[in-house]
Structure 1
Amino acid sequence: MAHVLMYTSAYCPYCVRAERLLAAKGVTDIEKVRVDEDPSRRAEMMEKTGRRTVPQIYIDDFHVGGCDELHALDREGKLDPLLQG
């Protein structure tokens, strides 16, 4: 299974939706980075992704983007191969 990293924050409904989809795909271990607890991690996320919003999801070294992009990959049949590594 691929390594999944998610920049997240508390009370983020899009983060919850993304996690639910990943769980449905069998992902049991998500490395979560809480950007609301550590401003330096938010700055890191913005530098890496060019985006301010959460979630920002990486599967291995591939930047998926946010929740909508994750669901789009699933609809296109491209999420499962990414998760297999």
Structure 2
Amino acid sequence: MKNVTIYTGPLCNYCEAAKKLLTRNNVEYKEINIATVEGAMDEMITKANGKRTIPQIFFNEQHMGGYDDVRALEKENKLQELLK
């Protein structure tokens, strides 16, 4: 299983939805809150090719996008395959 990292922020409904999606798919993830971790926002923006919205989700170092992107993978039954 790949290492999953999700960059989140406070009061973010999409962040909560993304974490629930990962949990229901039995995916362990590392959460980095950009509001509380020094330098995390700059790190996220760099890794996500300039994207500033949260959440931003990575499988290993591959940028998967935000909640809508990962939800689309789940709907297409591609999520589990990409996590292998």
Normalized against structure 2, the TM-score is what?
A: 0.89
Q: Does 1:24 align with 2:24?
A: yes
Name the TM-score, length of structure 1 as normaliser: 0.88
Q: How does 1:34-53 map to 2 (within 5 A)?
A: 34-38=33-37, 40-49=39-48, 50-53=50-53
Letter in 2 for 1:61: E
**Residue 56 of structure 1 aligns with which residue?**
56
Q: Structure 1: which 5+ runs fail to align? A: none
**1:76: which partner in 2?**
76
Output one character per residue of 1:7-62: Cα deviation in whole Å (capped at 9) or x when no partner.
111211101101111111111x3111111123511011111111111100001222
More helix by share: 1
Identity %: 37
In structure 2, distance between residues paired with 1:59 and 1:47: 16
